[in-house]
Amino acid sequence: MSRRGAAFGVVLLAGIAGGAMVMAEDKKVEVPAWLAPKIAGLPAAKREFLLSDKITNFAARHDLLFKRFLDKSPAEIEAYVDGMMQMTEDFKFKAGRDMGMIPLDTGDERFNAWKTKRPQSMNPKREPGPIYLDRYIGRWETGIKTFANAPVAITPEDLVAGKVDVAIVGAPLDMGSGYRGAKAGPAAMRATYGAGGIDMYTMVDPSDELNIVDYGDIAVDNMSTERTMGHVREEVAAIARTGAIPFIVGGDHSLEYSDVAGLADVHGKGSFGVVHFDSHYDAGKGGEHFITHGQPVYRTVKEGHVLGKNYIQVGLRGPWPGPEGFEWMRDNGVRYHAMPEVEKSGWNVVMERAVKEAKETGKKMYVSFDVDVLDPAFVTGTGTPVPGGLTMREAIPIVRRLCAETDIIGFEIVEVAPQLDVSYRTPLNANFIMHACLTGIAMRKKGLTQAHYLSDVTTEHGADTPAGRKRYKPEVPVKDVTVSKPKPN
């Protein structure tokens, strides 16, 4: 439903018979001369409805609706208006007819079993700290798969004892989306490489600089997104309170709401910004559900966890939102960089704008990365792919830069639905995106925070440094080298 639907009330109907411009508060509705006589006899309530923005449930604009009336008689038009008015009423909640909430059996003895944690007294005694889940030192393809081949931690005490910098945690929720399958994202990303190893662009290996752990999966109730939100929020906050940076692997994008709220519980409301990579702006409002994967930005801003002026959208495209969505973003100070801007100005220009804005806030930052911001050529395994997205060569540098050049307090990657991908490219590319952020955080720890830092070893062959000139000096001068011609076959 258009957000303007309830904004217009009183309609000034003077002059309607002459086909004049009719005012609906601050919106003008032009009634064609051919239509004015046909609707002149409508009762006032029906005329008011017809000229209000309530009709946007049935047509995008009044002129498009009016075209449907070209061959209709006044009686047929009135019947059409009656139908729209009846449906508008039927859309609404009616006590006694509609279920206002889904009842839960609070008397069930296992009501909270889905999120009840095992007491440590039931586990073997051990010293707090990360645990390695394989028996071999040179682990590659052996042992139990973990994010980035990292050791496992299962309690906040493990994070503290291990002085953990980054805790990667799965959140396998997909009830917030109309497309099932994102709950398999964490398992697929664990089983696929790409999240570990050296970053050749910077010659930084995150695993050498950071204490990284796999923090397992957060329990979710895949029968209820709303019920899950509270527990995910608690667990994200618990990670952040230890000083570790939570990396949340979804799951669908409704998780952004609980993830950001959990960080706000620790760092304070309005104390940080968000860079939101997505083909959709995810600030939908209204609807019958409190939270879905199309609403987290709206919920987050509405509740003040992040101020609109500290939200930056990157990669928007496709059929949603329309003008009202961009109006909402402008009204709330949200900055956005849609793909039409990239088409007009080029990716490098847009990347510099977005990174500059993130740095200008002077605040800590959170990165929310929906894999559908990438072109479907790189990510087929996601519920709502949209052509014309970012390439991996565009996405990796901006994520790495944001995580190196700003103070990151959290990261999420969501909407990986591996069963929609006949290959392994979706979890593979998702891992490389996560690795870009890990690299950026490692760079920041090493002090490599200059704008768009790249290693001279891999960009200039090292020739522009004294060490490089010595390292790469040819043993035989080029002028003395004789190039032999290939022998004929």
pLDDT at 241 over 70: yes
d(CA 42, CA 35): 12
What mean pLDDT value characterizes the chain?
A: 90
Task: Count Cβ atoms within 10 A of the Cβ of residue 152 and give its class: 0-12 exposed, 13-18 middle, 19 or more buried.
Answer: middle
pLDDT at 164 over 80: yes
- Residue type (1 letter), 308: G
CATH number for domain 135-446, candidates 3.40.50.1820, 3.40.800.10, 3.40.920.10, 3.40.50.11810: 3.40.800.10
Token code pair at residue 98:
């509609």
Chain segment 305-360, per-residue pLDDT in tens: 999 999 999 999 999 999 999 999 999 999 999 999 999 999 999 999 999 999 99
The ranges assigned to domains in the chain are: 11-91, 135-446
Q: How confident is the model at residue 239 (pLDDT cuts 50, 70, 90)?
A: very high
More confident residue, 23 or 34: 34
Q: Which of 147, 232, 219 is nearest to 190 (CA)?
A: 147
Q: How confident is the model at residue 227 (pLDDT cuts 50, 70, 90)?
A: very high
d(CA 428, CA 191): 9
Token code pair at residue 317:
């495209």
Q: Which of 100-109, 247-256, 364-373 has the lowest mean pLDDT?
A: 100-109
Token code pair at residue 167:
């805790």
pLDDT at 389 over 80: yes
d(CA 399, CA 369): 9
pTM, to two decimals: 0.84
Mean local confidence (pLDDT), 204-209: 98
Mean local confidence (pLDDT), 39-44: 96
Chain segment 409-441, per-residue pLDDT in tens: 999 999 999 999 999 999 999 999 999 999 999
d(CA 175, CA 120): 31
Please give the pLDDT value at position 28.
Answer: 80
Torsion of CA 373, 377, 378, 381, to 10 degrees: 80
Mean local confidence (pLDDT), 202-208: 97
Please give the pLDDT value at position 136.
Answer: 85
Q: How confident is the model at residue 466 (pLDDT cuts 50, 70, 90)?
A: low
Token code pair at residue 100:
């206002």
Please give the pLDDT value at position 247.
Answer: 98
Chain segment 259-285, per-residue pLDDT in tens: 999 999 999 999 999 999 999 999 998
Please give the pLDDT value at position 472.
Answer: 53
